[in-house]
Chains A and B, each alone.
Chain A
Amino acid sequence: ETGVTQTPRHLVMGMTNKKSLKCEQHLGHNAMYWYKQSAKKPLELMFVYSLEERVENNSVPSRFSPECPNSSHLFLHLHTLQPEDSALYLCASSQVTSSGSRSYNEQFFGPGTRLTVL
């Protein structure tokens, strides 16, 4: 496997279900991100983990629960979702350098999980 992988690629779930999205990066990066991509809306940043510590939670409802057990893996645990949560969920990773050191720190994206909540 190379780059950033996500499983599953498609997920259909009821509002009472509990499911998890998985992301794995094979790039040796130290930061990982969850984005939500809804139709006709800009990508929305949900969570940022840097060095396995959550550094940003962008006002995401508590029915979304992220987990970063190590620098290569990122999960998004889902429970009691709403139909409006149906979207493409993208994972990304980057190498964050120390402050004062210039770097593009570009983010590499996975293929996404298409989530449908019934």
Chain B
Amino acid sequence: AQTVTQSQPEMSVQEAETVTLSCTYDTSESDYYLFWYKQPPSRQMILVIRQEAYKQQNATENRFSVNFQKAAKSFSLKISDSQLGDAAMYFCAYRGIQGAQKLVFGQGTRLTINP
């Protein structure tokens, strides 16, 4: 079974600085998708960024980028120029290609932005 591990329960960063959230996963599949979701205090989970395993190029969405290391099974999220609105729980998630499309989530990292 696939597992996702986020080893940082909490992180904090100064506004306008850069922060990196870690995620590792375990799978025997060679093709899959990886996601970072954000859950602000309002609780609505929203997708931040996504990556296909077969793509070597790291995904980027504005201030958000990932460092995808397939061999190491690592998928970290970098947030540049942190803003107060970035404060939230961040979840790393894995989804295989086949089957019921289920997402496997990590435990989450609570990110605090210090003004």
Contact = CB atoms under 8 A, between A and B. Distances in A.
Interface of A: 31, 33, 40-43, 45, 48, 50, 55-56, 58, 88, 90, 92, 94, 96, 99, 102, 104-112
A43 B105 contact: yes
B45 A90 contact: yes
Contacts of A99: 98
Interface residues of B, number: 24
A111 B91 contact: no
A37 to B, nearest CB: 9
B107 A109 contact: no
A112 B43 CA distance: 7
A45 B91 contact: no
A41 B98 CA distance: 25
A89 B106 CA distance: 17
Given A40-B107, A42-B107, A43-B105, A55 B100 contact: yes
A94 B98 CA distance: 15
A99 B96 CA distance: 12
Interface of B: 4, 33, 35, 37, 42-47, 50, 52, 91, 95, 98, 100-108
Contacts of A40: 107
B18 to A, nearest CB: 25
A116 B1 CA distance: 31
B65 to A, nearest CB: 17
A45 B107 contact: no
Contacts of B104: 42, 45
Nearest to A58: B102
A42 B50 contact: no
Given A40-B107, A42-B105, A48-B100, A109 B91 contact: no
B100 A42 contact: no
B44 A110 contact: yes
Given A42-B4, A109-B45, A111-B44, A96 B101 contact: yes
